[in-house]
Amino acid sequence: MAEPIKVVVTGAAGQIAYSLLYQIASGAVFGPNQPVYLHLLDIAPMMGVLEGVVMELADCALPLLAGVLPTAKPEEAFKDVVAAFLVGAMPRKEGMERKDLLAANVRIFKEQGQALDKVARKDVKVLVVGNPANTNALICSKYAPSIPKENFTAMTRLDQNRAQSQLAAKIGVPVQNVKNVIIWGNHSSTQFPDASNAVVTVGGAQKPVPAAINDDAYLKSTFVTTVQKRGAAVIAARKMSSALSAAKAASDHMRDWFLGSGDRWVSMGVVSDGSYGTPRDVVFSFPVTTANGKWKIVQGLTITDFARQMLDATGKELAEEKQEALDVCKD
Ligand SMILES: NC(=O)C1=CN([C@@H]2O[C@H](COP(=O)(O)OP(=O)(O)OC[C@H]3O[C@@H](n4cnc5c(N)ncnc54)[C@H](O)[C@@H]3O)[C@@H](O)[C@H]2O)C=CC1
Ligand SMILES: O=C([O-])CC(=O)C(=O)O
């Protein structure tokens, strides 16, 4: 058995963490032969609740769980971790956009960036889940200048999973038969879920998804808006934001980053290098492949006029969010 690795989850007493911790501790993220030592960060008033979570983790009797450190101190939580799930932040309520959380949440990511910079390993892989995830990830990276910016990512995997699931249902195939759907841009209602390069296996043969669906209007309208608004639909139904599916997506994102994406593209928010004419230095979701612990943007895709408009709109929103976040972080 390998030596245990240290992994931190912030917001560890919250909803998403309640599903996520089990997945990490049971081997679904780092593999069935990799023990984990979990660092659990939450704020001081939540330490009582967190104690209950620690009890439950013990009661799961998981062979891969090598130890647990509950704490309210970021510098203790981030020490020596190889992976950081930054979940802890306020969730939105019905009627809000995710960027309405910016003023409340972005300071958390400034402070945690500073703590990561001080105590984390320089090869730590950071996944920001807390909303607005893209801009929080950018700020976290800015305040951790000693860690390469490639190590900071934001979660758009839930949007990808939603998109894949919608397409599979529409075509009538199991969800794993659909691959290479892309989420471009912001994890917000301006994101662009793009099925134009997706492929599906039907009856043993691979086909482009647009040909299998044969309904361009659906792919440009209903499909796009359903995925863009899925988070709001869950909030309207549950009166709380997605947690089970968010935890699953966070597991998928980190697993693929560590263990590789194989022959599939996955969508991740990464610091933009300007690929596809997007604004540089915002955290933009691109199609990537991952191998040996590194991600690489899929290049050479055709951008139609429709896609160009969608990419520009979501890029503009990210540039605006960035400015607002930098202003908030000044004081
Ligand atoms: N990127 C994505 O696809 C998704 C993102 N989210 C976002 O994830 C975040 C967490 O959602 P939930 O777990 O449902 O919320 P929650 O309210 O159930 O839990 C959040 C936890 O974070 C803790 N927290 C607050 N400030 C903290 C700090 N400075 N350090 C450490 N912990 C802190 C809270 O005390 C609480 O225990 C929200 O911002 C939500 O909008 C949710 C779903 C999907
Ligand atoms: O919609 C929300 O506020 C929570 C979230 O990010 C999602 O479910 O995608």
Query: pLDDT for 27-84, tens place per residue?
Result: 999 999 999 999 999 999 999 999 999 999 999 999 999 999 999 999 999 999 999 9
Give the CATH architecture of domain 157-321. Alpha-Beta Complex (3.90)
Would you say the pTM of this structure is higher than 0.95? yes
Q: Which segments of 124-171 does DSSP mark as H helices, in order?
A: 133-142, 157-171
Closest ligand, as measured to the CA of 154: 1
pLDDT at 302 over 90: yes
Residue 98 is assigned to a ligand binding site? yes
Strands (E), the chain: 5-10, 36-41, 65-71, 83-86, 125-128, 152-154, 178-179, 182-184, 192-194, 199-202, 205-208, 266-271, 283-291, 294-297
Find the 57 Cα to ligand 1 centroid distance in Å: 19
Position of tokens 């669906």? Answer: 213
**Residue ranges covered by each domain of the chain:** 5-154, 157-321
Closest ligand, as measured to the CA of 235: 2
Instruction: Tell me how far apart the alpha carbons of residues 202 and 173 are, in angstroms, rounded to a whole number.
Output: 7
Nearest-atom number in ligand 1 for the CA of 74 is: 30
User: Interior CA angle at 166 toward 252 and 21, to 5°?
Assistant: 25
The answer to whether 5-154 and 157-321 have equal CATH topology is: no
Closest residue by Cα to atom 8, ligand 2, is 231
Pocket test residue of 235, 244, 253, 285 for ligand 2, highest count of atoms within 8 A of CB: 235
Closest ligand, as measured to the CA of 268: 1
User: Cβ of 129: how many Cβ atoms within 10 Å?
Assistant: 28
Half-sphere exposure of residue 182: CA atoms within 13 angstroms, side-chain side: 24
Q: How sure is the predictor about 25, in pLDDT bands with cuts at 50, 70 and 90?
A: very high
Closest residue by Cα to atom 9, ligand 1, is 130
Half-sphere exposure of residue 99: CA atoms within 13 angstroms, side-chain side: 18
Q: How sure is the predictor about 136, in pLDDT bands with cuts at 50, 70 and 90?
A: very high
Pocket test residue of 9, 39, 43, 321 for ligand 1, highest count of atoms within 8 A of CB: 43
| Fold of domain 5-154 | Rossmann fold (3.40.50)
Find the 13 Cα to ligand 1 centroid distance in Å: 9
Task: Let me know if 39 is a catalytic residue.
Answer: no
Residue 121 is assigned to a ligand binding site? no
C-beta of 15 in contact with ligand 1 (< 6 A):
yes
Instruction: Tell me how far apart the alpha carbons of residues 312 and 139 are, in angstroms, rounded to a whole number.
Output: 21
Q: Closest by alpha carbon to 251, among 24, 22, 5, 13?
A: 24
ipTM of the complex: 0.99
Closest residue by Cα to atom 1, ligand 2, is 231
pLDDT at 99: 85
Q: Phi/psi at 266 (nearest 5 deg)?
A: -130, 155
pLDDT at 1: 79
pLDDT at 175: 98
Between the alpha carbon of residue 49 and those of residues 19, 40, 52, 181, the distances in Å are 15, 12, 5, 39
Average pLDDT, integer, range 122-136: 98
C-beta of 162 in contact with ligand 2 (< 6 A):
no
Residue from 142, 179, 187, 255 carrying the catalytic annotation? 187
Pocket test residue of 161, 241, 245 for ligand 1, highest count of atoms within 8 A of CB: 241
C-beta of 89 in contact with ligand 1 (< 6 A):
yes
